[in-house]
Amino acid sequence: MHELDTPTFRLAMAQFDQAAEAMELDPNLRERLKLPQRSLIVSVPVRMDDGRVEVYTGYRVQHDSSRGPTKGGIRYHPDVNLGEVAALAMWMTWKCALADLPYGGAKGGVAVDPKQLSRAELQRLTRRYAAEIFPLIGPEKDVPAPDVGTDAQVMAWIMDTYSQQVGYSVPGVVTGKPLSIGGSLGREEATGRGVVYVTIEALRHFKLDIRNSTVVIQGFGNVGAHTARIMQECGARVIAVSDVNGGIHNASGLNIPELLTRCKTHGQSLRDTKLGDWLSNDELLQLDCTVLVPAALSEQITERNAGKLRCRILAEGANGPTTLEADRILQDQGVFIIPDILANSGGVIVSYFEWVQDGQRFFWKAKDIQERLQDILINAFHRTLQFSLSNNTSMRMAALMSGIDKVAQAHLHRGLYP
């Protein structure tokens, strides 16, 4: 257990224990669901451009496969460790069950800063990592996807490496691929679009007009940028966004298309765009707004700053952005939290669509994908809300208990082998 003992894993475990206690989960099942089913640590030797060989550490963790193949992203980040990956795999299990997808949770990663690598080094790292985790992955076993520090190109290299090993093309081994090799329309924006769909439902629940709503987004990567764009298209006023260095704020509303052009197309930093007043990430979280979307890394909202938040709705675009202590403070303040396993599940839902399309060799229109995503998420939101209201519990506990219960039922029906 000690090798998993990191703050992120402790948070995932504490959430699980709280939910398991509330639902009086069978003690034997509790023990089975606490720890991952399978954890792999690999050495990833990479020949650098100058001829040196650098050895990185890679991970792949499968938390639970009782409901189907495991599913989860691969992240490249200097702080990746076994505990973090195990926690993210556990959250993926509950997330897939909550959305009613036939998957269990997995996660992978390499402890590396991808920005320090050339494109050639990144490709060699990815292919070697894919070769090392090859025995664990496959369309019927474990299906990786992009995460922090990885993208469609990284998925293409993994798909090619896997296909070379088996001798034929296997597009369904990963999701989040380029369209030319079996990717799905709508996959790149799926997580951000999902955050918007559930946020709109929460606004409707409180009878708040989206056109009079202000939105603050921490993180301007894939999730944050798409959330900002789609929120603005739906009529909300996005007043602040940030990246790792800090953010920009404009009370009248930021020009998101202009910001995207400058940052994503021309590579400018948020600060250099001068489209708003500069502020720190701490100051950004404390802005007065209708909706706050933490879409960066985990544990951003803690006991230290939770009391200073001034939002009505907190929609968790990132995984585990709020600690348990912060949860309690926000609940006392009357902040409505849309938990991560519900708010950011759009990515895995459209990944599921991509996997289905790859298996059928039949691809859907963008409009069909958006409608099916909306349908699944709105259903999941209202099921969770109903559970929360009828059991007098928080949205987070309602989401966790619903997800855990589905996995528990699968285990009870399948039994224990041998």
Active site amino acids: 107
The Cα 16–Cα 71 span in angstroms is 19
Largest CA distance in the chain: 64
DSSP of 239-268, one letter per residue?
A: EEEEETTEEEE-TT---HHHHHIIIIIS--
Q: Which stretches does DSSP call E strand in 253-395?
A: 277-279, 288-294, 310-315, 336-338
CA 268 → CA 89, 245, 280, 398, distances in Å?
34, 13, 18, 41
The DSSP call for residue 185 is T
Phi, psi for residue 138 in degrees, rounded to 5: 155, 155
Q: How large is the C-alpha radius of gyration of the chain?
A: 21
Q: CA triplet 229, 368, 93: central angle to 5 degrees?
A: 75
Structure tokens at 102: 């036939």
The one-letter amino acid at 74: I
Structure tokens at 199: 């946020």
